[in-house]
Structure 1
Amino acid sequence: MQRAYNFNAGPSALPLEVLNRAQAELVNYKGTGMSVMELSHRSKEYDQVHQQAISDLRTLLRIPDDYQVLFLQGGASLQFSMIPMNFLTPGKTADYILTGSWSQKALEEANKFGETNVIASSKDEKFSYIPEVNGDNHSTNSAYVHITSNNTIYGTQWEKYPTYTDVPLIADMSSDILCRETNVEQFGMIYAGAQKNLGPSGVTVAIIKDSLLKQSNSNLPTMLDYHTHVKSNSLYNTPPTFSIYMLSLVLDWVKEQGGVSAIEARNKEKAALLYHTIDESEGFYKAHAKDGSRSIMNVSYTLPSDELTKKFLAQAKEKGFVGLNGHRSIGGCRASIYNAVPYESVEALASFMKAFKSEN
């Protein structure tokens, strides 16, 4: 079977090796006579999957011992609410940096729970850049500073994070976690929906520093209190066991590729090829993101007209390219080139783009 050139923004491409392994283990996981989906979440067989996934995340991201690793549900969108519920304590202000739609949604949720402040924004230029922020840029009574590390719609990404010494930095890394080396110690919390770089949809990873957990509100609904999940090792209720199993297979795959540094090098090669194709097109293709803010995960670009864009997308579909439609809010096209997207797929797209430009 011919595999599609999968450039979906999410749920997105999974490594073929991971899919093949999951297929082989689907109906009889390690001699249990059951699928992972059928195992009790209290069984020793599932517990091994659960613990290994946590261990591999700690190893790959070099997560220090004073951080908790949680497997949650509800996607990053639920975290937009849980974060202010837990950490926007009375008398404090939550600071947000707006770089796109998802950071805007996170702010809107925080507004429901307390005082917020936008300390920087790139909305003035259609979120085409990452604003400059330093470690002094926060409210005097800041509970935390929230950023979205990568912006799937607009194709922008933080190249260098602000360093805060007295305020926790919280990052939504749903679309670029594990895409490059990251110093976890810069953050009070990192969270990510799995469906881009970690696995299929259904599980959300949260990495939270112990000192931040100590500052949280009390008397919260049980399932919305991070302490509930810390105390139960993310097993308070039935977790999304199959999604966590798939996440564990993806982490195995990352290790086999040489770890995060090797993945980062490959991602930069893929992004460089696409941006070079765009920049050398004499204006036929134009990247939405400005230099210095360009994402290595999502390449958003436009063509000279809506008519040409429709033609491009129609011909791309005929040739097996999937997911190249730009988000409805900015139009154009978008290639999501997450960790599992092979370099060969990006090569094929670049060749198609060059041929289309020559013909049109």
Structure 2
Amino acid sequence: MTRHFNFCAGPAAMPTAVLDRARSEMKDYRGYGLSVMEMSHRSSEFIAIAEQAEQDLRELLAIPDNYRVLFTQGGATLQFSAVPYNLLGQGGTANFLDTGIWSRKAIDEARHLFGAAYVAASSEADSHRVLPRQEDIVLSEDAAYLHYTANETIGGLEFDYIPRAVHPDGREVPLVCDMSSSMLSGPLDVSRFGIIYAGAQKNIGPAGLVVVIVRDDLLHQACAGMPSLLGYQALAKGGSMVNTPATYSWYLAGLVFQWLKHDVGGLEAMDAINTRKAEMLYSAIDNSALYSNPIAPQNRSRMNVPFVLADERLDSLFLQEAEAAGLLNLKGHRSVGGMRASIYNAVSEQAVDALISFMADFEQRRG
């Protein structure tokens, strides 16, 4: 069987070593005579899997002791509801940085649920091609927290700094980050955040799991009458097992954490690999007469690289020939068109080299 190079934005490529290990344990997990997906989530065997996964994630990210790690469900999109429900119980308004489609969805959900959401800064005037700077961020007087999307998967732009959620009077509110497509791509100072959440299907594991990292003091600010399954306090108290969790996705995420620790060598090593991949691909685009990327260089995403062809009539042919060459899922999001290469952790440097070679050959023949 031949493994092709997968540039899908999500569900995304998984590390081959993780897939091989999962295959070896598929029918019989460590001599227990059954698959992980058949285990009770209350069994000692699965509890050990869950605890090891959390321990490995804590080590990778150096998560401080005053943060809870939750493994929950519903995709990152459900956190667009869960975050305001958990943080607006004492009043105030959710504040946002509007930087693209995913941040806009979070804004719309807060307005739908609570009737208001305040945009503290926006990149809309720049067509979401350059991100707001710290000095552009102005919170509302009643700001309860500031939410931003670290990496806009569709638009392909990424914050090059961690914003500070500070009023002009010096008062600071919790910083909340949707880190779905950049979490684990490199080291991170978790202590800068009140809440971090990430859908698994980029760098963590398969779809069906969400990781939420929440500071202890924020577990007690939930709205009365909110859906109980969305409550961080209940999830923390119940070990993320208020209901039956996504057990197999949780197990696979744990294997990814071990791969990052032992095979890759940790997040600093992963950071260096991701930087090399992105620099190679952007250099190929910038030195081409056929391909271009519209994002301001300081905000170019390392995880999602969109590009357009100078002649869009070549788009279909490019995709057809790329797939024939074993380069899969390069079509851009339907809302923006063009191409997009998602080069998450599990996408190797060999895969990026193959894409660059194909792009150069295609340009020579068709450009």
TM-score band by shorter chain is over 0.9
Q: 1:163-202 maps to which residues of 2 (within 5 A)?
A: 163-164=164-165, 166-202=172-208
| Pair 1:104–1:306, CA change in 2 (3 A) | same
User: Unmatched 5+ residue regions in structure 2?
Assistant: 167-171
Is the CA contact 2:120–2:137 (under 8 Å) kept in the aligned structure 1? Answer: no
Of residues 8-17 and 212-221 in structure 1, the stretch that sits farther from structure 2 once superposed is 212-221
Please give the alpha-carbon distance, in whole angstroms, between the structure 1 residues aligned to 2:30 and 2:111: 48
Please give the alpha-carbon distance, in whole angstroms, between the structure 1 residues aligned to 2:61 and 2:196: 11
Q: 1:1-360 maps to which residues of 2 (within 5 A)?
A: 1-89=1-89, 91-114=91-114, 115-134=116-135, 137-164=138-165, 166-256=172-262, 257-282=264-289, 284-360=290-366
Please give the alpha-carbon distance, in whole angstroms, between the structure 1 residues aligned to 2:128 and 2:137: 23
Q: CA deviation at 1:134?
A: 4.3
SS at match of 2:297: coil
Is the CA contact 2:220–2:233 (under 8 Å) kept in the aligned structure 1? Answer: no
Q: CA deviation at 1:155?
A: 0.7
Is the CA contact 1:27–1:34 (under 8 Å) kept in the aligned structure 2? Answer: yes
| Pair 1:331–1:243, CA change in 2 (3 A) | same
Is the CA contact 1:120–1:133 (under 8 Å) kept in the aligned structure 2? Answer: no
Please give the alpha-carbon distance, in whole angstroms, between the structure 2 residues aligned to 1:273 and 1:351: 11
Is the CA contact 2:90–2:221 (under 8 Å) kept in the aligned structure 1? Answer: no
Q: CA deviation at 1:90?
A: 5.2
Q: CA deviation at 1:243?
A: 0.3
Q: CA deviation at 1:214?
A: 2.6
**Superposition misfits of 4+ residues, deviation over 4 angstroms:** none
Q: CA deviation at 1:135?
A: 9.3
Amino acid of the structure 1 residue aligned with 2:140:
S
Please give the alpha-carbon distance, in whole angstroms, between the structure 2 residues aligned to 1:134 and 1:203: 35
Of residues 75-84 and 212-221 in structure 1, the stretch that sits farther from structure 2 once superposed is 212-221
Please give the alpha-carbon distance, in whole angstroms, between the structure 2 residues aligned to 1:174 and 1:121: 20
Please give the alpha-carbon distance, in whole angstroms, between the structure 2 residues aligned to 1:182 and 1:137: 24
User: Unmatched 5+ residue regions in structure 1?
Assistant: none
Please give the alpha-carbon distance, in whole angstroms, between the structure 1 residues aligned to 2:294 and 2:273: 22
1:207-263: CA deviation from partner (whole Å, max 9, x where unpaired): 000112233323322212111101101011111110000000000000021101100
Amino acid of the structure 1 residue aligned with 2:156:
G
1:147-173: CA deviation from partner (whole Å, max 9, x where unpaired): 001011111001101123611010000
In the comparison of the two structures, how many residue pairs are matched?
359
1:171-194: CA deviation from partner (whole Å, max 9, x where unpaired): 000111000111101110000000
Is the CA contact 2:8–2:328 (under 8 Å) kept in the aligned structure 1? Answer: yes
Please give the alpha-carbon distance, in whole angstroms, between the structure 2 residues aligned to 1:136 and 1:335: 30
Q: CA deviation at 1:141?
A: 1.5
Q: CA deviation at 1:357?
A: 1.1
Is the CA contact 1:164–1:186 (under 8 Å) kept in the aligned structure 2? Answer: no
Is the CA contact 1:89–1:143 (under 8 Å) kept in the aligned structure 2? Answer: no
